[in-house]
Each structure stands twice: as C-alpha cells, then as structure tokens.
Amino acid sequence: MDDINLQREIYNYCYRRKIPVNSVDSPQYCTFLFPAYIKEKDIVIGISTSGYAPALAKKLKEKIKECLPENLGEVFEKLKNIRKNKDKGEERQNLIYKILNKYF
C-alpha cells in the first residue's frame, strides 16, 4: 500500500520529535537515506541516487558487482598484509600494483 498522506503524517510526527524517518520512494519524507551497497570484508561501495531513483541504484550495484573479482576478499587480505608488513616505499607500492594488476 502506497499511501502518500500516511507517509506525510508519519514524517511530520517523526520530524517534530527528532526521530529518524525514511520513506523509500518519497525522499521528501526522509531524514536519512539507505544507499544500495556492496560489502566484502572491510570494502564498502555505496551507491545512492539521493532517494530519487532507487531502481537505478540497485541496477548500478548489480553492474558494479559484475566487474569485481569473485575473490575480492582474498585480494583485500593480501593488500592489507602487505601494507602491514612492508615498509612504505617504492617496493611496497610495486608489489601492491602487481597484485592489483593480476586481478583487475
């Protein structure tokens, strides 16, 4: 049921009481937004249309996911360990880019 009057009423009630409120398809009745997001380990990719085209955000999420390597978590762990165990400098950067070029 998509009752715009009820959405407005709930929004006004919450807004006056400083209660966060979200109405997915009515950004004018939101005090916060939920982005579409991809999360793998500590990698988070967020996609938002500021509430105006959630279907587009969902489609973009699907397309971006298709471009990512299936073992993104493994790649992340390798890079994390290199940064943790190797001193800053050209050698570390070259090793990082060697790994990235292998997967991307």
* pLDDT tens digits along 31-85: 998 899 999 989 999 999 988 898 999 999 999 999 998 899 999 999 999 999 9
Query: Residue 1 — very low, low, confident or very high, per pLDDT cuts 50/70/90?
Result: low
Mean pLDDT score of the chain, rounded to an integer? 93
pTM: 0.71
Calpha distance 74→94 (Å, rounded):
18
b (16+ CB within 10 A) / e for 65-103? eeeeeeeeeebeebeeebeeeeeeeeeeeeeeeeeeeee
